[in-house]
């Protein structure tokens, strides 16, 4: 018997609690992992809500990522004692997830940790870190480079993805970073993380604004996405990876047809294995910011408090859940 967070649904009532279960509750897979750490993401918060759009089957162990040690494996690529991690796929949605002392998954979902990356550090990054890395990777694939020192706009600067993105950008040499924050008190935090300047998005109804930014890394969605798109320069490029500010935006096509901008959607769930391996190696080496990441570590007993902070928008940085 071991501990796991279980989400149950009774009609329109969705609740979660710490329960004792055994391995028969776990979904099928080739590899059994003794989980050491998971991380708490906004998607995990949605998984605990009625009509959150995340969990497909109840009862379910939530947690869209985890890292730990292989306990047993029928996949020849993984041996007992290997340090591994999982982010994305159906973890914590239709397949039992990471908020548990054990997890069982298909071998195709696993990534071996690079030797220089600890189990804990991998979950301080977690899905948020991987998504930040994937966003930067896509922007660089579309022309962003340190040599040109472009103007870069980053939203959600004190949240998980945004805070990591800013620190990676600064680590690899980008200097002209503007952060958008929700509250005035977050401006100083954004600057300490590495942003050159911090601003709050103002409301405006103009279809096009002065082009100030070459690249736009959006982590929150909604009308904040529209705010950045209309401020991109000619041939500017944007990525969007989150929806905490909403699924809809009040936008128009003028930035696209008059400035030839490009908007790239970032999906970190079904990224192919080669790209996953490459990005985790970057996070362990040239993009490593583990020593400066803003995070806190909790146990199961503090889980509910952290979820409430995330729901109220009072959460900063990353939270790792230690089993």
Model pLDDT for residues 27-45, shown as the tens digit of each residue: 999 999 999 999 998 889 8
Which has the minimum average pLDDT: 24-28, 139-143, 300-304? Answer: 300-304
DSSP 157-183: TTSHHHHHHHHHHHHTT---EEEEESS
At residue 318, the pLDDT reads 81
265 in Cβ contact with 98 (< 8 Å): no
Residues 93 and 132 in one domain: no
Distance CA 118, CA 96 (A): 23
Question: Environment class of residue 237 by beta-carbon count within 10 Å: exposed (0-12), middle (13-18) or buried (19+)?
Answer: buried
More confidently predicted of 219 and 41: 219
Q: Could you tell me if residue 71 is inside a domain?
A: yes
Distances, alpha carbon 2 to alpha carbons 24, 63, 168, 323, in Å: 11, 16, 37, 10
Residues 97 and 132 in one domain: no
Give the 3-state secondary structure of 104-162: EECHHHCEECCCCCCHHHHHHHHHHHHHHHHHHHHHHHCCCCHHHCCCEEEECCCCHHH
Q: Could you tell me if residue 196 is inside a domain?
A: yes
Q: How confident is the model at residue 140 (pLDDT cuts 50, 70, 90)?
A: very high
Distance CA 273, CA 55 (A): 24
At residue 141, the pLDDT reads 96
Q: Nearest CA to 142 among 237, 258, 266?
A: 237
Q: How confident is the model at residue 52 (pLDDT cuts 50, 70, 90)?
A: confident
Q: Could you tell me if residue 61 is inside a domain?
A: yes
Q: Structure pTM? A: 0.90
Distance CA 203, CA 163 (A): 23
Residues 261 and 180 in one domain: yes
Asked if pLDDT for residue 302 goes beyond 80, the answer is yes
- Tell me which residue range forms the domain holding 260: 127-265
Q: Nearest CA to 41 among 319, 267, 268, 261?
A: 319
Residues 98 and 175 in one domain: no
DSSP 182-206: SSTTHHHHHHHHT-SEEEEPPP---
Residues 303 and 203 in one domain: no
Residues 152 and 70 in one domain: no
Residues 142 and 192 in one domain: yes
Q: How confident is the model at residue 12 (pLDDT cuts 50, 70, 90)?
A: confident
Residues 153 and 210 in one domain: yes
| Mean pLDDT, rounded, for 132-152 | 97
Asked if pLDDT for residue 148 goes beyond 90, the answer is yes
Asked if pLDDT for residue 250 goes beyond 90, the answer is no
At residue 14, the pLDDT reads 87
Residues 202 and 162 in one domain: yes
Residue 145 burial (CB count, 10 A): 12
Q: Could you tell me if residue 247 is inside a domain?
A: yes
CATH number of the domain encompassing residue 30: 3.90.180.10
| Mean pLDDT, rounded, for 223-237 | 95
| Mean pLDDT, rounded, for 70-76 | 97
Three-state DSSP at 243 gives coil
Model pLDDT for residues 152-207, shown as the tens digit of each residue: 999 998 888 999 999 999 999 999 999 998 888 889 989 998 999 999 887 778 88
Residues 140 and 212 in one domain: yes
Three-state DSSP at 11 gives coil
Asked if pLDDT for residue 21 goes beyond 80, the answer is yes
CATH number of the domain encompassing residue 223: 3.40.50.720
Structure tokens at 172: 């690899």
Residue 67, by phi and psi: left (phi above 0), alpha (psi -120 to 50) or beta?
beta
Residues 19 and 104 in one domain: yes
Residues 219 and 251 in one domain: yes
> How many domains is the chain partitioned into structurally?
2
Asked if pLDDT for residue 133 goes beyond 80, the answer is yes
At residue 41, the pLDDT reads 85
């Amino acid at each position: 018997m071991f501990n796991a967070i279980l989400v149950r649904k009774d009609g329109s009532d969705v609740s979660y609690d710490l329960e004792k279960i055994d391995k028969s509750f776990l979904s099928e897979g080739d590899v059994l992992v003794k989980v050491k750490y998971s991380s708490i993401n906004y998607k995990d918060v949605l998984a605990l809500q009625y009509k959150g759009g995340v969990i497909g089957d109840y009862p379910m162990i939530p947690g869209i990522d985890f890292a730990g040690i292989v306990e047993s494996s029928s996949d020849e690529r993984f041996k007992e004692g290997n340090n591994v991690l999982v982010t994305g796929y159906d973890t914590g949605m239709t397949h039992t997830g990471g908020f548990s002392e054990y997890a069982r998954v298909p071998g195709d979902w696993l990534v071996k940790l690079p030797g220089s990356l600890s189990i804990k550090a991998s979950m301080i990054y977690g899905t948020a870190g991987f998504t930040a890395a994937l966003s930067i990777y896509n922007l660089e694939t579309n022309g962003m480079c340190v040599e040109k020192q472009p103007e870069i706009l980053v939203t959600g600067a004190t949240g998980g993805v945004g805070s990591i993105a800013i620190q990676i950008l600064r680590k690899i040499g980008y200097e002209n970073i503007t952060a958008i924050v929700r509250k005035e008190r977050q401006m100083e935090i954004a600057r300490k993380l590495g942003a050159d300047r911090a601003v709050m998005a103002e409301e405006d109804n103009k279809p096009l604004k002065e082009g100030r930014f070459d690249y736009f890394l959006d982590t929150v969605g909604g009308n904040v996405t529209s705010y950045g798109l209309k401020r991109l320069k000619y041939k500017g490029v944007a990525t969007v990876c989150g929806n905490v500010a909403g699924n809809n935006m009040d936008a128009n096509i003028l930035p696209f047809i008059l400035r030839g901008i490009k908007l790239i959607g970032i999906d970190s769930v079904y990224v192919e294995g080669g790209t996953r391996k490459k990005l985790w190696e970057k996070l362990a080496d040239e993009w490593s910011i583990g020593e400066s990441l803003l995070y806190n570590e909790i146990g199961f007993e503090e889980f509910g408090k952290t979820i409430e902070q995330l729901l109220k928008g009072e959460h900063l940085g990353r939270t790792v859940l230690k089993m």
